[in-house]
Structure 1
């Protein structure tokens, strides 16, 4: 049986090695690449990201990844964003009073969490909407690994979402059509993250 092929896009940000291993373990063949044609042609596009929103968007724009993400979404072809790779899929991010425009395939804004302790670092449970493909067969008591200070908080129109709480509720994961995104790191979330990545890979066309 042919394994789906995933483009793990290197635009200068992300936990590429751990993501590569996790995706292969979950059942995919993986191309670590900065080639836009490979990103277009892959069965799934994985968008990583760590650090600052503005710095990640600079890398996305410099490589032209933003256009490929929009193209894939317009063609109903799967994209998965993780951590800041999740955040940049939204319309904008606000850090230190500076607003940066995102890729914009999900409506909404990424903003600082209102919490007594920042960053939100460690394991947390999530409450997922019924029918989310990412969480199929995953026990609601499972925990996922988070490292972030910013997050989207409002569910985009027509999307399903999983919510976590750290000081306030925020979007731990979103899926709508070909777009899936997680604020947590599935590649660092043990068996629960493996199950989630397996669910995404099983849904690739």
Structure 2
């Protein structure tokens, strides 16, 4: 039995993530941890997140999750970031007049803007809905997921795909978006796998099976 820890720092409904994990890994223990102590003995770590980046960063720092995350990364534990959980791993976000993030990945987080267009038509922000994701690297997290599969997105800020050497998956919404980034034992997605039907469940199953290497 594995212990899969989801960090609960007050940002978002985590029960849908836990429920999806229990579906793909019924024999494993899924824990919602509000303190680093509750994450002890973890085999895998998930960093979710929904909401404003400043609140997310404050909520993540306050209980001592930054040293915990750094230790997990250093020891090679598989780590999955989801939505704002991916964005807090970047260098800096334009949200809330600029917020420094964890700088695990050196990329910025940018606002879509108020005049986002595609084929001459104005696009709504936040970006909400299903987008095709093009896989940019051969990674165990993409196992048994067809290239171009659709995943569910909800966000007003994005990590650019351009000049991104960690790019693992890409989509477009007026601009080229990093749908997923990867480095060593970290894989993070802008989309919500727990809300992405069969493709999302497969990605979570792949995370449960992944040894943290590629």
TM-score by length of 1: 0.92
Deviation of 1:39 (Å): 2.5
- Aligned to 1:22, which of 20, 26, 31? 20
Q: Secondary structure at the match of 2:103?
A: coil
Deviation of 1:110 (Å): 0.7
Deviation of 1:15 (Å): 2.3
Q: Secondary structure at the match of 1:14?
A: coil
Deviation of 1:12 (Å): 0.6
Q: Secondary structure at the match of 2:148?
A: coil
Distance 1:130 1:58 in 2: 33
- Asked if residue 149 in structure 1 is aligned to residue 147 in structure 2, the reply is no
Query: Where do residues 180-191 of structure 1 align in structure 2 (5 Å cutoff)?
Result: 180-191=187-198
Which runs of at least 4 in structure 1 moved beyond 6 Å after TM superposition?
none
Q: Is the 8 A contact 1:92 1:109 kept in 2?
A: yes
Deviation of 1:79 (Å): 1.3
Q: Residue 79 of structure 1 aligns with which residue?
A: 79
Unaligned runs of 5+ in 1: none
- Aligned to 1:132, which of 118, 133, 139? 139
- Aligned to 2:208, which of 198, 201, 205? 201
Distance 1:40 1:126 in 2: 34
Deviation of 1:144 (Å): 0.4
Deviation of 1:40 (Å): 4.7
- Give the direction of change, closer, same or farther, for the CA distance of 1:22–1:73 in structure 2 (3 Å limit): same
Q: Is the 8 A contact 1:107 1:156 kept in 2?
A: no
Distance 2:173 2:166 in 1: 22
| RMSD (CA atoms) | 1.7
If you compute each CA radius of gyration, which structure gives the higher value, 1 or 2? 2
Q: Is the 8 A contact 2:107 2:164 kept in 1?
A: no
Greater fraction strand:
1
Q: Is the 8 A contact 2:161 2:167 kept in 1?
A: no
- Aligned to 1:9, which of 4, 7, 12? 7
Deviation of 1:60 (Å): 0.5
Distance 1:77 1:156 in 2: 27
Q: Is the 8 A contact 1:160 1:174 kept in 2?
A: yes
Aligned residues: 202
Distance 1:157 1:37 in 2: 34
Q: Residue 45 of structure 1 aligns with which residue?
A: 45
TM-score by length of 2: 0.88
Unaligned runs of 5+ in 2: 117-122
